[in-house]
Structure 1
């Protein structure tokens, strides 16, 4: 295990709890002390940690740092028979570069992303997705499944997928979704609504959102953005009202303004009378057929 921050420590602790030996290394050695007390072996260097195990999980600040770490390994370090698993946040391009360096040294490589908090590791809530050579996955899946017993996903051999889906799911869906709940809860509670009432309402809305995601996916897949329900312009009118209510309360409307900007962009490309999903082609710069003709 390389990395003993909050997430790295959670991963190492789960490996130890599952009965597996763990060799750990961190740039700041004292961070490894709590793991050593729980039975981990502390390596003197990243190279020593890699040599000490057939599978090395790396979870540090960024994939860019992982790339630098792999480039800095001793030139004579042979990675044959070993698999490096990167769970750091980064770009798809970095994942491919790391993979090329590892395989050039004879090793196997998996790239992955964690969609939960450190406290969730090892629980039914944990979700971790991986990609890389099938042989590498076969060699490591038993170890890696311990980290997310019910949420370990192998996406296939395309190393781009974990990082790309991390943006789409952890960033856009979870991060922006949670930010929008906080913005709305701040407004509602400032208006005297009990927080429990807001949470109960949000839970109901999540069920609506699940249905809307499925519906939106069908529209996007079909390339069909017409609607006989609420048009994008109807949505825009509502968002303006909601935004003004929040601002009128003396509160910034960061998320609502972002949604409004996206709707205005789609409107400018001719999707005013189309479905809310008209934003999808608009994001790619594609004008509505009637606007383009």
Structure 2
């Protein structure tokens, strides 16, 4: 079989958006023998990908028309809409599948699903939970939502991106909502980490040792958070692992120590305010998970 014939018979996919993540995605499919068509707003990135074997589309509509499945991975839904929501693209959508891996909200996903349905296209919304260099690993996590038959039809194609694909159901907004949830955890934890840096600096301790200590405790803390989530889901707030009263004492101690050392204390003060509010509401002798009742 000639190389030209092999290329013609290869599975086809289109990738729109060639930032760090989009380029990584295109490269993964090229390495798996797919015939990859690319389009990017700035042509120079597409030319660079062409050197690796990709085919360049001259327009978004040509890119979508070239393959049965298009993955779009751009900065956000605004950029995605700028690229796709044109009559020329709408004319080639019938029978196609679009997989959105751009950052957005649940409402963005619902709007996209409704728009694509009008033109006969299938849709999956997704959220990548790793950096580009962590793609295609056994534990690479990509959250996905949309019609189950669409997900099942694209399962093999999506497996190229990693082994941790998590299907969240027919609710098209689920992937974006879960992404917001995980990012909330990440940024909250990161701010806590930075607060810790202030304490480490104040006593001239080794930041590398601090980082290693946090890394070692992260696995067990993840198990603790999972336990707290189960308690909230079951609405069972009797003390099992961590009474709220202990956390209240701890956060007050952190606030006092920060003020004594002249450190920024806005974050621990915020947490202390919530815990004091929960205690005043009568939750002090319940599991720490009962704090959700204040947030709700």
The TM-score range, normalised by the shorter chain, is 0.7 to 0.9
CA distance in 1, matches of 2:263, 2:210: 17
CA distance in 1, matches of 2:240, 2:111: 47
- Root-mean-square deviation over aligned CA pairs: 2.2
CA distance in 2, matches of 1:20, 1:58: 16
Residue in structure 2 matched with residue 19 of structure 1 by the alignment = 33
Residue in structure 2 matched with residue 191 of structure 1 by the alignment = 203
CA distance in 1, matches of 2:202, 2:35: 51
Residue in structure 2 matched with residue 291 of structure 1 by the alignment = none
CA distance in 1, matches of 2:86, 2:102: 17
**Once the 2 structures are TM-superposed, how far is the Cα of residue 189 of structure 1 from its aligned partner?**
4.3
Q: Secondary structure at the match of 2:264?
A: coil
Asked if 1:140 corresponds to 2:154, the answer is yes
CA distance in 1, matches of 2:19, 2:52: 15
Asked if 1:223 corresponds to 2:235, the answer is yes
Residue in structure 2 matched with residue 100 of structure 1 by the alignment = 114
Which deviates further from its counterpart, 123-132 or 186-195?
186-195
CA distance in 2, matches of 1:35, 1:265: 55
Equivalent runs, 1:217-256 vs 2, <5 Å: 217-227=229-239, 230-256=242-268
Residue in structure 2 matched with residue 151 of structure 1 by the alignment = 164
Structure 1 unmatched ranges of 5 or more: 285-293
Equivalent runs, 1:4-153 vs 2, <5 Å: 4-74=18-88, 77-148=91-162, 150-153=163-166
CA pair 59-255 structure 1, distance change in 2 beyond 3 A = farther
CA pair 201-99 structure 1, distance change in 2 beyond 3 A = same
Structure 1 segments (4+ residues) deviating >6 Å: none
CA distance in 1, matches of 2:30, 2:269: 46
CA distance in 1, matches of 2:199, 2:68: 52
CA distance in 2, matches of 1:38, 1:153: 30
Which deviates further from its counterpart, 34-43 or 253-262?
253-262
Structure 2 unmatched ranges of 5 or more: 1-14
Residue in structure 2 matched with residue 288 of structure 1 by the alignment = none
Asked if 1:166 corresponds to 2:179, the answer is yes
Q: Secondary structure at the match of 1:187?
A: helix
Residue in structure 1 matched with residue 6 of structure 2 by the alignment = none
CA distance in 1, matches of 2:179, 2:58: 32
CA pair 118-75 structure 1, distance change in 2 beyond 3 A = closer
Which deviates further from its counterpart, 197-206 or 158-167?
197-206
CA pair 87-268 structure 1, distance change in 2 beyond 3 A = farther
Native 8 Å contact 1:67 1:94 kept in 2 = no
Which deviates further from its counterpart, 257-266 or 130-139?
257-266
CA distance in 2, matches of 1:256, 1:63: 34
Q: Secondary structure at the match of 1:159?
A: coil
Q: Secondary structure at the match of 2:130?
A: coil
Native 8 Å contact 1:47 1:73 kept in 2 = no
Deviation digits for residues 70-108 of structure 1 (CA, Å, limit 9, x no counterpart): 332427613222100001111101101101111211111
CA pair 208-114 structure 1, distance change in 2 beyond 3 A = same
**Once the 2 structures are TM-superposed, how far is the Cα of residue 229 of structure 1 from its aligned partner?**
6.2
CA distance in 1, matches of 2:21, 2:155: 19
